[in-house]
Amino acid sequence: MALRLVDIYHPDADEALQLPDDTYDVLGHWTYAIDDEQRVDRVLLEVDETESFLDWVDETVRTEYRVVLQSVEATLPRPEVEDEEEADADDENEDVSVGRIGRAELYEYARDAANVSGYYYAMTALSVIVAAGGMLRDQTAVVIGAMVIAPLIGPNLALALGTTLGDTELLGRAGWANLAGV
């Protein structure tokens, strides 16, 4: 069971978040005052519920806030696991979850993949050299190896996600990274 720890930083004048009852399977909820001006609410959730919870936070918290999402490696005591019979009954009543990551996590991954850096240029140049050598020697396997070396899949994935979300900033970054790779 994959878990996420959601930290919600907001002004101390706000009260602690009042989580909706029975909407999310919250494994833990803690509230701390960081200083006189800021407070943090920490919520431990299963990964399947993270995206809908973040949407709820976006709709509910009306003041200036920042959300930090962390992957949880382990927790003690371990969360209780449902019996198979209960899980089968729940599956009939609910949509089947495929264990996907949230929109925010996917967006951050795509943004990082569309970065143009010295590493990006070096790996692209190396793949060009390897591909040219493979073509000169008529070796298909070497050309395929050059495609594996090239860091060009990340910007294309970012381009696809930017198109899907309608995010022009991500589209611009991904387009620039693709042009730099050419």
CB atoms within 10 A of CB 4: 22
Instruction: For residues 57 and 6, give the distance between their C-alpha atoms in angstroms, rounded to a whole number.
Output: 10
Instruction: For residues 157 and 9, give the distance between their C-alpha atoms in angstroms, rounded to a whole number.
Output: 30
| Integer CA distances (angstroms), 27 to 62, 105, 129, 174, in order | 24, 20, 52, 37
As a whole number, mean pLDDT of residues 8-16 equals 79
Residue 65 has pLDDT above 60, yes or no: yes
Least confident of 54-63, 96-105, 134-143, 158-167: 96-105
* Domain-wise residue ranges, the chain: 3-79, 109-181
Least confident of 30-34, 80-84, 138-142, 158-162: 80-84
Entry pTM: 0.63
Query: What is the C-alpha end-to-end distance of the chain, expressed in Å?
Result: 41
- How confident is the model at residue 75, as a pLDDT? 84
Least confident of 10-14, 46-50, 125-129: 10-14
Residue 34 has pLDDT above 80, yes or no: yes
Q: What CATH number is given for 3-79 in this structure? A: 3.30.70
Instruction: For residues 176 and 163, give the distance between their C-alpha atoms in angstroms, rounded to a whole number.
Output: 14
Q: What average pLDDT does the structure give for the chain?
A: 85
Residue 90 has pLDDT above 60, yes or no: no
| Integer CA distances (angstroms), 102 to 3, 11, 23, 159, in order | 12, 25, 17, 18
As a whole number, mean pLDDT of residues 59-73 equals 87
At residue 21's C-alpha, the angle toward residues 19 and 24, to 5°, is: 75
| Integer CA distances (angstroms), 12 to 4, 55, 59, 61, 126, in order | 24, 22, 19, 13, 52
Residue 156 has pLDDT above 80, yes or no: yes
Confidence of residue 177 (pLDDT cuts 50, 70, 90): very high
